[in-house]
Structure 1
Amino acid sequence: MSTPARGRFAGADPHVAPEPERSALVLVDVQVDFADGGASPVPGTSEVVPALVRLLRAFRRAGRPVVHVVRLYDGDDVDLPRRTLLAAGAPVVRPGSPGSQIVADLLPAGAPALDPQRLLAGEFQQLGPREWAMWKPRWGAFHRTRLEEHLRALDVTTVVLAGCNFPNCPRATAYGASERDLRVLLVRDAISGLLPGHEAEAARIGVLAAATTEVEDLVAATGEA
């Protein structure tokens, strides 16, 4: 049964309105190499880390699932535009490297280092209670991965999406989720590279957007009677 939309989403189309009680937080590519000081920093990524920390706290407190999606550039199994760069030896998110790790502020207490062997084999590595890391080989987190299967097993209908560089991987992930009839909520102040026209573009496929504070309230309300 669908959960009624709350607050500012109460008037949204019921087929796309978020269902916070069946939501998961999906963070895309928030890794050391893509933050300030990394091998390939993406502008604005370090700046959204505080908002990501707040989202993570909200989802952890509510007991909602979290998936950290990561890139690991291994051999030729990378996007075509990156192959020349990596063949030349660029030290970007190489498996097992310090730069491939998730930004430390986002990890739950006691989280292990990423295990590239398990991740590259398509496994979900548990980082904490109801919190996992997974590898994606291309832009979108659903391409050649078990993310849909993982979310369905957790009874998730709503992907709350945040992370690094909207024009590339978060956008592809939003489209992949929509193609699988999952509801998508972008966290506008927790995604680097999100420009003014992107929200309107995403809205055409039913993707909604909200600020971190609004998502915190939605998720906190899932524990209310």
Structure 2
Amino acid sequence: MTTALNDKLAQAFAEATRLYKERGLRRVGFGKKPALINVDLANAWTRPGNPFTCENIDEQIIPGVQQLLAACRENGHPVVHVTTCYQVTDRSNPHNDMGLWHNKIPIDVVDQANEELWAIDSRIAPIPGEQLLIKKRASAFHGTYLAGFLRAAGVDTILVTGVTASACVRTTLCDGLAEGFRTIGVRECIGDRVPGAVEWNLFDIDAKFADVEPLTRCLDYLATVKG
């Protein structure tokens, strides 16, 4: 986006934030037991040349997630790597594993038979003890064991990164709040494909469904609580 458009968005968001505060919207805050949820930071989204490829991956999102991973691993916080793939990619087959989402997105680019597509980016790959969760819908909670896993681990706060701001990250944060977790979106570690989508969605998410916090504050938090 142009600088002028960014400036206009910043002004509009500042005014809207003031209005929201006047009407009683507030912060959810950090809890006592965090987990990191990385959403769809797999090759189909992070590497060039795929219809799902997102912006700002190499220069911003991956380096930020690397710092979060280091903080979680050092302090014993759970980490969940979430990816998406499908067993049936034939749109004419009614017995598929994605409902009717295949009518909207090119599911063949995340064919489960091609693990390289949906494998977590090697720069932020899981280590032993970290969860690798495959989802079939936008939200990492929808139809998965994520909420049960987090509750069993005593987690009360989720820090969410990944792509996209307008879809899978957004729905994960919304569902996380509905499931009873304090929801934190890590600003520098969330991306999308479309200019403006990140700015708008993070503003709207911060107003209604989560606290969108800078990477530095999230790192400080992870360092002050122990797993």
Same fold (TM over 0.5): yes
Aligned to 2:186: 187
Q: Deviations 1:160-188 (Å, cap 9, x if unpaired)? A: 00011110100010111111121100000
**Cα separation, 2, equivalents of 1:79 and 1:103:** 26
Aligned to 1:200: 203
Aligned to 1:94: 112
Q: Deviations 1:125-179 (Å, cap 9, x if unpaired)? A: xx423x1111111000111111100000000011100011110100010111111
One-letter amino acid of the structure 1 residue matched with residue 122 of structure 2: A
**CA-CA distance at 1:39 after TM superposition:** 2.8
The yes-or-no answer on 1:80 pairing with 2:100 is yes
**CA-CA distance at 1:107 after TM superposition:** 1.7
**Cα separation, 2, equivalents of 1:161 and 1:84:** 25
Deviates more, 1:152-161 or 1:203-212: 203-212
Aligned to 2:15: none
**Cα separation, 1, equivalents of 2:111 and 2:73:** 27
**Cα separation, 1, equivalents of 2:214 and 2:104:** 37
Aligned to 1:128: 128
Q: 1:212 aligns with which of 197, 212, 215?
A: 215
Q: 1:22 aligns with which of 33, 48, 54?
A: 33
Judged with a 3 Å threshold, the aligned counterparts in structure 2 of structure 1 residues 192 and 85 are, in CA distance, closer, same or farther, namely: closer
Return 5+ residue gaps in structure 2 as ranges.
1-24, 89-95
**CA-CA distance at 1:199 after TM superposition:** 2.8
The yes-or-no answer on 1:168 pairing with 2:167 is yes
TM-score normalized by structure 2?
Answer: 0.75
Deviates more, 1:29-38 or 1:193-202: 193-202
Native 8 Å contact 1:30 1:45 kept in 2: no
Q: Which of the two has higher C-alpha Rg?
A: 2
Aligned to 2:16: none
Judged with a 3 Å threshold, the aligned counterparts in structure 2 of structure 1 residues 204 and 38 are, in CA distance, closer, same or farther, namely: same
What secondary structure sits across from 2:166 in the alignment? coil
Native 8 Å contact 2:33 2:225 kept in 1: no
**Cα separation, 1, equivalents of 2:207 and 2:44:** 32
Judged with a 3 Å threshold, the aligned counterparts in structure 2 of structure 1 residues 80 and 43 are, in CA distance, closer, same or farther, namely: farther
**Cα separation, 2, equivalents of 1:209 and 1:203:** 5
Of Structure 1 and Structure 2, the greater helix share is in 2
Deviates more, 1:41-50 or 1:181-190: 41-50
**Cα separation, 2, equivalents of 1:69 and 1:170:** 11
**Cα separation, 1, equivalents of 2:198 and 2:135:** 24
Native 8 Å contact 2:187 2:212 kept in 1: yes
**Cα separation, 2, equivalents of 1:103 and 1:139:** 19
Native 8 Å contact 2:190 2:198 kept in 1: no
Native 8 Å contact 1:79 1:139 kept in 2: no
One-letter amino acid of the structure 1 residue matched with residue 45 of structure 2: F
Native 8 Å contact 2:43 2:118 kept in 1: yes
**Cα separation, 1, equivalents of 2:68 and 2:199:** 22
Q: Deviations 1:88-120 (Å, cap 9, x if unpaired)? A: xx3335344212110001124xxxxxxxxxxxx
Native 8 Å contact 2:84 2:110 kept in 1: no
Return 5+ residue gaps in structure 1 as ranges.
1-11, 109-126
Deviates more, 1:77-86 or 1:157-166: 77-86
